[in-house]
Structure 1
Amino acid sequence: METKLDGFDRKILETLQEDASLTNQEVADCIGLSASPCSRRIKSLEDRGYIVRRIAVVNPKSVNLNLTALLNIRMDKHTPERFENFERKIAALPEVIECALVTGQDADYQLKVVVPDMDEYHNVLLKHITTIEGVDGVHSSFLLRQIISHKALPLKYIR
C-alpha cells in the first residue's frame, strides 16, 4: 500500500471515519476542496486500500441484539487446514461479528458474538461453534456495558 498521504487525504479519512454517510460535496466542504478533486481523492484512497468499506453502525439493542459475548477459542491442532476450516465456518455465522487470530493467551481465536439473549447464545455456541472440527475449548465473557465502540483510528501515525 502506498503510504504517501497529504493533509487533504488525512482530512478526508478523518471526516469519513466520523460520518461515512456524508456526500462528496459535504466532505469537500469540510476539508476545503472542490467536489471533483475531493471525489478523485476518495476514489484513490479506496483504490489504494486506505478505505476498505463504508458502513452504517446500527444500535444492537434497537434490533434486539441484547447480549454480546467475547469468546476465546482454543484449537486442538495448529494446522493450516484446521484454521482454514474454522475460519470458513465462523465467517458463515451472522452472529459472529468479529473474529481474530490471537496470540499471548490460552486461545487461538477471539470472537465477538451478538445475540438476543442467553438462550440464543447457548444455541449458537452448542450447535454451531463447538461443533466445528478442531475446537478444543471455549472461554466466554459477556459485556456488561460497552464503553468505546467504533472509534475512529488515530491517523497521527501515517508516514
Structure 2
Amino acid sequence: MRCARPPVSVMPLSMDQRAVDRCAGHRQPRRMLNMPADYRSYGDRKPYVVADTLTALTGPAEGVVTLPHHLDWSGHAEYDLNRPARLVSMYKVVLTEAGSVDDLNTWLNADLLRRLWPALWLPTRLRRLWEGTFPELRRHYEPLEGQHRTA
C-alpha cells in the first residue's frame, strides 16, 4: 500500500540516527537533506549576549522569581531558586535567551553563576563566548587528573 503523502525530511540526520515517518501503518526511513557547504546550525548563528563584567550580575540569589515572557515563554516561567534543578534551568534559559546585558544583570547573580557554571548544559558557542570573556569560569571546572574536559 502506498502512503498518501511522501516522507517529510525536516532535519539533516547523522548516519547513526534513525528517524522515521509513520504512514499507513508502516515505517519509512526519512531521506537525508543535502545541506549547502556553508550550512551553520541555529546554535552557531544565534546571537548571544555576554555580560560586560561579572560584578554587574546582581540578580536574585534566593526566593521565587518569574522571568518575563521575552526570556521564558514556556508557561513555566516561575523558578524557585532554592530548588537546585529549577535554579540551573533558570540560568540556562537566561543565558541562552537574553536579548540584552540588562537581562543578564537583572536575572543572574555572579556568585551563583560561578558555582553553577560546571552544571550548566549550554550550547558550545555560548560557553566559549562566556569563557573567552571570563576565563575564571573555565577554572571552576578544570578536569581532575586523568579526566577529560567535555565542554
Q: Give yes or no for TM over 0.5.
A: no
Task: Pick the structure with more helix per residue.
Answer: 1
Task: Pick the structure with more strand per residue.
Answer: 1
Greater relative contact order, per chain length (Cα 8 Å cut-off, separation 6+): 1
